[in-house]
Amino acid sequence: MHEPAAPAPVPVPAPGPVRTRGTARALAALAVPAVPLFVLVLPTVLGGAGEHATAESQLLEWTRTRAPYELALLQAVGFACLVPACLGVLAVARERARGTALAAVTAVLGCLTAFAMLLVMGAELAQLFFTVTLDPPRAGVDAALLLNDAPGFVVTLLTGLSTTVLTLPLLGTALRRSRVLSTAGLLSFLVPLVVSFLPLPPAGAELAPGLGLLVPCCWIAVRVAATRPAGTVVVPAGDRPARRVRV
């Protein structure tokens, strides 16, 4: 009599981690470095390192030259990238089943920050519009200054800037708790602080913090892109070689 054949291997779901589609990781890997790139680096490179004593002097200069609409739009794109960055990191944390709570809090903070800063950028675009379209030019400057000094604009601006500063390091901390980012990667968020104190010429001093912030953000992008689902188990199949099953 022939012995019964060994049963075929049966996939066994791994407990805990939730599988994340590669799209979420790709979005996070692209969006995290896009925030400092579009908010800080590109506007500085394209707009130059100008010095203005007051907002009024800056607005008056725009009446004589041209309003930098494209720079405001670049910054708006950068702040909007906070949303896919935070949601992508949250997806990675859920996949790893570590740091999920911190990633969720950071995602909420990042989405609120993006909303607040998009409101600010809309107000700044309105200031540019008033400056270059109203006649005489002084009337446009006065209208822009009225909007610039509005309490709602000031509060939203200060809140959005402070939460922007918090969001990116919190993303790094969530990834560190998820064991995606190393301690060295998290400590690289000190780079923009260090370069801010370097004796640089005015153009370099304005550009250095943005480039410094790109260092940890690119580090996060590389680590997130290299992360794979933590749900691989080995199921014996009789006398045959073990079979790897990804869930």
Predicted structure pTM score: 0.76
Q: What are phi and psi of 178, to 5 degrees?
A: -85, 0
User: Residue 192: in which H helix or E strand, if any?
Assistant: helix 191-195
Distances (CA, A) of 117 to 10, 39, 156, 178, 232: 51, 11, 7, 28, 41
In angstroms, the CA 241 to CA 184 distance is 39
**Is 90 exceeded by the pLDDT of residue 85?**
yes
Once rounded to an integer, what is the mean pLDDT over residues 17-42?
A: 82
Q: Contact, 103 vs 90, CB < 8 A?
A: yes
Lowest mean pLDDT among 21-25, 57-61, 92-96: 57-61
pLDDT (average), residues 43-61: 68
Is the pLDDT at 126 greater than 50, yes or no? yes
- Which of 52-56, 102-106, 131-135, 174-178 shows the lowest mean pLDDT across its residues? 52-56
More confident residue, 16 or 128: 128
